[in-house]
Structure 1
């Protein structure tokens, strides 16, 4: 006990000796210390008074200036904060935290380029300063320097679980803006894996979908392949001849391929060419085996929010390896992005039809159509509908007019499933009386379909199940029929 008392008295004696010397060296130091204590306790008025007294004794002390600037920063008096912080940095730029505080000052006053410079210096000064990295990224992003910002967000996210999801989310935004789409998707996937980023996961999913759609739009080519097995309860020659039905059921193998390539692509225009091929092989009814080759030359002019398009499609069809139909289609169209949810498409098609085995059906057709697409539930579903009118001019008996309607919905379901339900109605009225039945023919056709699809490997390989029902009613009974089709296909797209 005596040793402890001796130590205390000795310490007090030394302190009493040192205080006058210390006061002679810098009489403002004590006020500075009192100011720091008040600042840390959140008593900014008291802190300001103490720092003002300290600066009065020594106006060129960078530490006094620094803390006075920090105090004004806390009380949002940014002009005074800049005065004192700038003075401090001119006297001693190496004071720990000074670069960070200068960055925060310019961030608060929305001078993001200057703020970014100081936060970058602060991050270099202290590699473990997570907030310096985060704010460096945030201000670089706000200053439109997303390329450099992304790295700081990633570093902050890696160093702090608290910042994790938020940092990766902003990094994803930056990589997306810099058009580094693959890395952007990786960042958003990290957000989805972060248990502390529940509020950001839905937005991350939306960005992944949007980026993939943009990647697809920017890719100069696309490929699609569909191979499936189909049960058909009443084999017909749809889509080129719905009147020819067999009244027999059969299984068939269906192959469909399409590809296109943008030959010339600028900021506001696209010009390209494509090819599609359709093939069906019936197990028994070989006379209904259909082959179709469709070429496509297209051009688009993007005049936001409107896109003007034109396509020319020469095609040729074979029935059981015999030539059946030669067709040329010319289609100008207008697509209008009305708002973020609603898109409209208007088109006109002129078709020149040459039936090689039936001259009575050879002629031409004019068709106008309007279609609408409406996104719902944050893009998880969309409604679509359409209305069209066709005037087909051929021989006396084969000329007709037809109204087409369409209504459907596509919905994203759990387990990465997509369901599409649609219905079509066709009202077909022939211009003249049938030569055999001696009466004008009027048909009503109803088509309902449901499909369910899912990706099975990454984003390019999928499986597709389709069910459809068709009923054709006619005032000439021989043209009435029903059919059901069930198809299971493997799809590949790139």
Structure 2
């Protein structure tokens, strides 16, 4: 072979290789252009809700580049939208390996885990998204719902409430499930508030019906957290008394001196029988006051209760025996035994009434402060009728009652007949405040030519603090007694601020 022929052959081979490479490059570019065109058509179809056309175009796009993360991502989103979760996981898992930083991928991956029942993994993904984007209402909502599905009610609660605060779109659904979380963690009153909101603002009749079912359950059935056989109430506070009474229980004689005092109160019950239709148990209460200056009028009370109630809807029958012991300045003042049968009639969902009879046996003790106290020994018979009516979807109720009391004492001037009446209003205010207003009137006639008319008014405002069991209570009481004997006339103002705890 001569030199010229050899050179021509080499040139021909080089040209062929170049043409082949150029052809392959142009073909690849053509395929890429076609893939991108199919991808764009697939995205447009997805955005328009035409998921069948989106699937077809995205699959054609993948034929040109089967590892393109964007092509795989939108095909996975399409399958996620059409609830073909196995196919969605296949393509989204490939994206997670190739390029998990595509905007929106982390949310879709978390949502896929949620939809396939992998709630623990979904919760962690959504929590991370919510942490990185605190204003993402849906991330908070699904983080809460994932924890809710796992029955982590306490942890779910904060995410559900936050999502409701961030977006009105998810608010009613979020508050509904937050209510269930509160119910299952024992915060029943807060749960009822959430269900009441959902009942009044639900987007669908189904959600409204579910909320109303929970509210009915709160009234007619006792959840496990309430059905516990015990209860405990604590109260400690400070009060100003504008006219300290000399006889702590009967409120007949006053010092015409003001003073301030600390007060403490604890009460607990335990049910030996703890069924919805029958409850039988024992209770104990202890109260104590410590005056700053008039310490000789410090009161101590110890009260025991033995009780039973039986429900035969719409009637409830109750019987209570209460022995109690009181001391003034650490000296015995009164030993009392009380027997109280009662019947409650639930006339409707909004109205019920109660009739009760009380028998008291009173044994007073003489002391240096009360040398003739035993002249009050005797017994008392009393009957009362009370009624309660709820209004404003049970956010408030009106109550009233009347009673008659006959007291027979060893000394005739301590015996009397009394008629009493009361009226009041309880109202749930915004921001978890409770308002209570009560007025009472007593007409008391003694055997020894003494007639008294007593007027009593009370107003209180309370609110929970941070926890459902912790609260603060502010109170103001006013009493005025008119008598045909001047020495028994008085008025009295008491203001108090207390911290309370209920378990």
Alpha-carbon deviation of 1:330? 2.0
Match of 1:404, SS? strand
Q: Does residue 147 of the first structure (1) align with residue 114 of the second (2)?
A: no
Match for residue 249 of structure 1 among 225, 242, 256: 256
Deviation at 1:446, TM superposition (A): 3.1
Shift of 1:341: 6.8
Instruction: Map residues 181-330 of structure 1 onto 2, 5 A cutoff.
Output: 220-232=231-243, 237=247, 239-240=249-250, 242=252, 245=253, 249-252=256-259, 256-264=263-271, 266=274, 268=276, 269=279, 271-277=281-287, 289=297, 291=299, 293-299=301-307, 310-317=319-326, 324-330=333-339
Q: Does 1:348 align with 2:363?
A: no
Q: Is the 8 A contact 2:303 2:323 kept in 1?
A: yes
* CA distance 1:256–1:263, change in 2 (3 Å): same
Q: Deviations over 1:153-197 (max 9, x none)?
A: 749969x97799969968854652442769x99xx9xxxxxxxxx
Pairing 1:408–2:424 present: yes
1:88 aligns with 2:87: yes
RMSD over equivalenced CA pairs, Å: 6.0
- 1:388-432 CA distances to partner (integer Å, 9 max, x unpaired)? 2334455695665433211133567899987654321223456xx
156 and 468 in structure 1: CA distance in 2 versus 1, 3 angstrom threshold: closer
Q: What's 1:117 paired with?
A: 117
* Corresponding residue number in structure 2 for 1:422: 438
**Could you report, residue by residue, the CA deviation over 1:91-121 in whole angstroms, capped at 9, with x for unpaired residues?**
657255999779979xxxxxxx983615655
CA distance in 2, matches of 1:387, 1:335: 15
| Per-residue deviation, 1:318 | 5.4
- What is the deviation of 1:48? 2.9
- The aligned counterpart of 2:39 is 33
- Contact 1:229/1:254 (8 A) holds in 2: yes
Structure 2: runs of 5+ lacking an equivalent: 1-20, 96-103, 131-137, 195-217, 219-223, 366-371
Gaps of 5+ in 1: 1-10, 75-80, 106-112, 189-209
Deviations 1:245-299 (A, max 9, x none): 47x623355564432233457565463332334558797897xx47453322244
Q: Contact conserved, 2:242 with 2:257, CA < 8 A, in 1?
A: yes
| 1:331 matched to 2:340 | yes
Given the two structures, how large is their TM-score scaled by the length of structure 1?
A: 0.58
1:201 alignment counterpart:
none
Conserved in 1, the CA contact under 8 Å of 2:376 and 2:411? no
Q: Secondary structure at 1:293's aligned position in 2? A: strand
SS at match of 1:117: coil
Q: Aligned match of 2:455 in 434, 442, 447? A: 447
Q: Distance in 1 between matches of 2:477 and 2:89?
A: 76
Alpha-carbon offset, residue 487 of structure 1: 2.8
With over 3 angstroms needed to count, the CA separation of the structure-2 counterparts of 1:291 and 1:95, relative to structure 1, is same
- Name the CA distance, whole Å, in 1 between partners of 2:471 and 2:75: 63
Is 1:465–1:489's contact at 8 Å kept on the other side of the alignment?
yes
**Kept after mapping to 2: 8 A contact 1:100/1:122:** no
2:402: which partner in 1? Answer: 387
The alignment partner of 1:48 has SS state of helix
Superposition TM-score, scaled by structure 2 size: 0.58
Aligned length, in residue pairs: 416
Distance 1:148 1:275, change over 3 A: closer
Task: Classify 1:393/1:88 alpha carbon distance in 2 versus 1 (closer, same or farther; 3 Å).
Answer: same
Are the structure 2 counterparts of residues 73 and 239 from structure 1 closer, same or farther at C-alpha, using a change threshold of 3 Å?
same
Does structure 1 retain, via aligned residues, the 8 Å contact 2:384–2:404? yes
User: Deviation of residue 329 (structure 1)?
Assistant: 0.8
